[in-house]
Structure formats: structure tokens, C-alpha cells
Amino acid sequence: MNLPVRMLRALPENLDLRTAALIEPASVAWHAVARAGDVAGKTALVIGSGPIGALAVAVLKRAGAARIVAVDMHAKPLEIASAVGADEVLTADDAEAIAAVEADVVIESSGSHHGLASAIQGAARGGTVVMVGLLPTGPQPVLISLAITRELDLKGSFRFNDEIDDVIAALADGTLHIEPVITHEYPVEEALEAFGVARNSAESGKVLLSFG
């Protein structure tokens, strides 16, 4: 495989390949949190606690958020979110509790209009909602009136820029804790089974393939 040198990064000696496998999705989460600005001392709400949401929790924790609340439909993702730094977890159907969070910063990573509605409802007046979950193409129902009257800042977040260097440094110095996001590892010979497990978001986080 031939790649431009600008796309390659030398891994620090103390960074194992298992953890390094999450550098790319962690960079997506890092970029999303960066879009929210300074989160130190603030209340943060993460809607959708799949791998990107859980990694966003870890990044928020490292960035000094005072209170992090994670939301998901399933118990396993919430367990992972707690392991990487969430102070509280809520189920996605608890609309009253989500609205009561009144978060300064919300990371919407569910990729559904229902999640975006929860994000808007859970934001405090003047808060920021970062939309990293990729909704389907085309018109989507949005609680835009509530966003307007609460004077919310709605920001899109897509992939990442050069945050990958910061992620590598934070993983190498141990300040970014993401190991619990990895829930399964399979030899490459069992790739079909691995993809099947990865498809079940209720039971898995990141699923890795080992090439020997």
C-alpha cells in the first residue's frame, strides 16, 4: 500500500496497537468537542453512547467538564460511557430527565432526529448543540422553534482536521482513557462473526480484528 507521508503518523513506543486502533474515531470525537469551545467546568450531555458518543465522553472528561450525562437506548453503551467518565446515565425514553439536565454543551451522536430533539430539549438557554451524528440525507424534523427561543448555537461536526496529533499525544501520556470502548477482539479468520457482533449496538462497542 502506498500512502502520502502527510497521512502517516509514527506511534509513540508506549502506545499499543490495540489502543491505537481507536485513534481515528477518537479524533472524530475530539473534533466534535472542540467545536463546542471551552467545556471546562461546564455541564455536558451526550446523546447516543455508541463508540463515538462514548469517546466524546472520554474527551469531555479530559477537557475538564464538571458534569457529564450520557444517554442511550441500551444498557451496554451506558455501561461503557460510565467507564470512560460519565457521571450520570439516562435512558433515551426518559424525556423529562433529559430535559432537566439543562446542559451547557450537548454532543448529539445518535444520528437520528429523535436524538437531535433530545439534544435541543436537554440544552440550557444559550447552550451549544454539536451535531456529530450523521442524519439521513433529506429533510428532517427539528425542534427549531425551541432552538430559536432558547437561543441555542447549533453546530455541525464532520470527521476531523488535524486533531489526530492531539489524540495520539493524549493517549500516549495516559490523559485520555478510552480502553473500555473496545468490547471485543477477534482473529481475522473470524471476521464474519466479528462484523455480526459489531452490528449489535446493544451488546458491543468497538470490535477489533487481530491480524496475528
Q: Is 41 inside a domain boundary?
A: yes
pLDDT, position 212? 79
Which residues are 184's β-sheet partners?
Answer: 207
Mean pLDDT by 10 residues, the chain (212 residues): 90 95 98 98 98 98 98 98 98 98 98 97 98 95 97 97 96 97 97 97 96 85
Q: Do the beta carbons of residue 78 and residue 89 sit within 8 Å?
A: yes
User: What's 37's DSSP letter?
Assistant: -
Q: Is 141 inside a domain boundary?
A: yes
Domain that holds residue 24: 17-156
Q: Is 178 inside a domain boundary?
A: no
Q: Is 46 inside a domain boundary?
A: yes
Q: Is 150 inside a domain boundary?
A: yes
Question: Which region, left, alpha or beta, applies to residue 138 given φ > 0 means left and ψ of -120 to 50 means alpha?
Answer: left
Q: Is 205 inside a domain boundary?
A: no
Q: Is 53 inside a domain boundary?
A: yes
Q: Is 118 inside a domain boundary?
A: yes
Residue type, 197: V
Phi, psi (rounded to 5 degrees) for 201:
-70, -15
CATH code for the domain in which residue 149 is found: 3.40.50.720
38, three cell numbers:
471551552
Q: How far is CA 158 from the centre of its chain?
A: 12
Report the distance separating Cα 60 and Cα 106, nearest Å: 11
Strand, helix or coil for residue 154:
strand
How many other C-beta atoms are found inside a 10 Å radius of the C-beta of residue 55?
31
The enclosing H or E element of 194 equals helix 191-199
pLDDT, position 82? 98
Q: Do the beta carbons of residue 106 and residue 44 sit within 8 Å?
A: yes
pLDDT, position 1? 82
Count of the separate structural domains present in the chain: 1
